[in-house]
Structure 1
Amino acid sequence: MNIYIKEISNDLFLITSKMITDLMNYHRELNNAPREYWQTDEQSQETLRYWIEEGIVYNIFLDNEPVGFFYIKFGGQDVAWLQDLFIIEQYRNKGIGKYAMQKLDELMVEKKVVALFVDVIPRNTGAIKLYSDFGFDHLNLIQLRKNYDKNLDKDEDIEILGFNFKKY
């Protein structure tokens, strides 16, 4: 199994934008968002154009086939943000995400990044485990949400720092 990463090239633009559609709609599905809010391929193409201008997109390959991507954005004070990491569903749980994280760590060291941040939807426990396994062990920020549309409320509770919230 030959896994490697490479900065996005023009010939992978449409394939990667389709993966962005899958990623965004996976998140919307996790949150039970109505279909009217799901992302289209055209919106994903716009997103990818923006990402390429604002950061760096790397494709993840398995035996020369693109099976995922990650998007990194750099900021001041030598820090970076892992904005998104995506592996096509049929390739998940095969070690590809772990390999991508190892390559990401190497890139961050090479670029002399002092800290890497990532945001995770609390329901995405697979991602939380992956990031935790790769040393993301500092709680940096908590984002709270108030729903005015009660149809968006969740039933599952989570306790954080002595407070009870709905797990979104």
Structure 2
Amino acid sequence: MNISIKELNDDMFIITAKMVTELMNYHRKLNNAPKKYWHTLEEGKKALNEWLSKGSAYNILLDGEVVGFLYVRYGGQDVAWLEDLYIAEEYRGKGIGRYAMNKLDKIMEERGIVSMFVDVIPRNTSAMEFYTECGFDHLNLIQLRKNYDKKLNKQDEVEILGFNLKKY
């Protein structure tokens, strides 16, 4: 199993845009969003172009085949945000994401990045587990949400810093 990551190039743009679309729609599915909010391939292409204007996208390859991507956005003070990590469903659970994260860590260190942040939806416990195993161990920011549409309310609760909150 030969895993590598490579900065996105024109040859891989469309396949990556398709994966961006799949990722965006996966998020919509997690949130039970109506189909009218799901992304099209055209929206995936537009999002990918916007991302490239603000950061870097890396394809994750398995034996030369694109099986995922990483998108990193850069900020001031030599910090970066891992905005998205996507592995095609049929390749998940094989250590490909962990390998890609290790490669990304080396790239970030070479670029002089001092810290990297990642946002995770609290309901996505598998992502929480993955990122903590990859060394994300500092709680940086808590984002609170208020629903006006009561259909969006969740029942699962979590205690954080003495506050009982609903897990979204």
TM range (shorter): over 0.9
CA-atom RMSD, angstroms?
0.8
- What residue identity is the alignment partner of 2:67? V
Partner of 2:91: 91
Gaps of 5+ in 1: none
Partner of 1:133: 133
- Structure 1 segments of 4+ aligned residues over 3 angstroms from their partners: none
Matched, 1:3 2:17: no
Task: Give me the whole-angstrom Cα distance separating, in 1, the residues matched to 2:37 and 2:165.
Answer: 24
Q: Secondary structure at the match of 1:18?
A: helix
User: Any residues of structure 2 matched to 1:1-168 within 5 Å, and which?
Assistant: 1-168=1-168
**How far did residue 152 of structure 1 move?**
0.8
**How far did residue 126 of structure 1 move?**
1.5
- What residue identity is the alignment partner of 2:110? E
Task: Give me the whole-angstrom Cα distance separating, in 1, the residues matched to 2:146 and 2:98.
Answer: 34
Q: Secondary structure at the match of 1:84?
A: strand
**How far did residue 113 of structure 1 move?**
0.8
Q: Secondary structure at the match of 2:136?
A: coil
Q: Secondary structure at the match of 2:122?
A: coil
Q: Secondary structure at the match of 1:138?
A: coil
- How much identity, in percent, do the aligned residues show? 63
Gaps of 5+ in 2: none
Q: Secondary structure at the match of 2:51?
A: helix
Task: Give me the whole-angstrom Cα distance separating, in 1, the residues matched to 2:26 and 2:87.
Answer: 11
**How far did residue 53 of structure 1 move?**
1.2
Deviations along 1:90-144, whole A, 9 cap, x unmatched?
Answer: 0000000000110011011111111100111111111111110011110000111
- What residue identity is the alignment partner of 1:149? D
**How far did residue 42 of structure 1 move?**
0.9
**How far did residue 64 of structure 1 move?**
0.5
- What residue identity is the alignment partner of 1:43? E
- What residue identity is the alignment partner of 1:16? T
Task: Give me the whole-angstrom Cα distance separating, in 1, the residues matched to 2:2 and 2:157.
Answer: 41
- What residue identity is the alignment partner of 1:129? E
- What residue identity is the alignment partner of 1:86? Y
Task: Give me the whole-angstrom Cα distance separating, in 1, the residues matched to 2:67 and 2:126.
Answer: 17
**How far did residue 28 of structure 1 move?**
1.2
